Amino acid sequence: MQADRRDGRTDRPRPERVERAERVRRLDLPQIRRRRPLPEYDPDAFGRLSERIARFLGTGRFIVWMTVVILLWVVWNIAAPSGLRWDEYPFIFLTLVLSLQASYAAPLILLAQNRQSDRDRVSLEQDRARHERSIADTEYLTREVAALRMGLGEVATRDWIRSELEELLKDLDQQRPAESDQRDR
């Protein structure tokens, strides 16, 4: 189950939808009346559709097709016989069609931008959490390395043992002549 909605709900079917689906399949049970007069829709599906449309509106292909359609419209309504023209020179119907297209395109683009900003916000939160974990890991490793260095400071190294043994040998060598002199007497 994905929890990709902002309110934290998952994509599980609601019990009334499951029950309604079961009743539609069964002919021996009465149908449940809808509580809403408007049809239900999936906001995520609508959002995905709006993103696809907004993505298409932002391409060169859309601009080329729109230019071709407008040019054909204008050429037809200027060059065609007067009985076949549907939009005379001021091209009021063309203006209406373009205004209608713009009035639908703007909200779809805004919806797509809102969905993208929601995805960016989630990604930013995940990056922030990952960054905090890496900082905590780095601090932990720094403390461990410092503890190892302190522990190594107390550990006898080979060079230190060698120097201590050399000093003991020198002390023994110095004590031997003194001992041999005392025996001789």
DSSP 8-state secondary structure symbol assigned to residue 37 = S
Please give the pLDDT value at position 158. Answer: 83
Does residue 10 register a pLDDT over 60?
Answer: no
Q: How many CB atoms lie within 10 A of CB 17?
A: 11
Please give the pLDDT value at position 161. Answer: 87
Q: What is the pLDDT of residues 46-68, one digit of tens each?
A: 889 999 999 999 899 999 999 99
Q: Are 116 and 108 in contact (CB under 8 A)?
A: no
Report residue 125's pLDDT band, with 50, 70 and 90 as the boundaries.
very high
Q: How many CB atoms lie within 10 A of CB 66?
A: 13
Average pLDDT over residues 141-147: 94
Report residue 128's pLDDT band, with 50, 70 and 90 as the boundaries.
very high
Which structure tokens are listed for 125?
A: 């939160």
DSSP 8-state secondary structure symbol assigned to residue 34 = P
Long-range contacts of 93-100 (CB under 8 A, 24+ apart): 94/70, 98/70
Please give the pLDDT value at position 3. Answer: 47
Choice among 13-17, 33-37, 118-122, 130-134 with the minimum mean pLDDT: 13-17
Average pLDDT over residues 123-151: 94
Give the Cα separation of 28 and 18 in Å (integer). Answer: 17
Give the Cα separation of 76 and 85 in Å (integer). Answer: 7
Give the Cα separation of 91 and 78 in Å (integer). Answer: 10
Share of the chain above pLDDT 70, in %: 82
Please provide the DSSP assignment of 43-106 as one string.
Answer: HHHHHHHHHHHHHHHTSHHHHHHHHHHHHHHHHHHHHS-TTT-SS-TT-HHHHHHHHHHHHHHH
Report residue 22's pLDDT band, with 50, 70 and 90 as the boundaries.
low
Report the alpha-carbon angle 33-39-44, nearest 5. 125
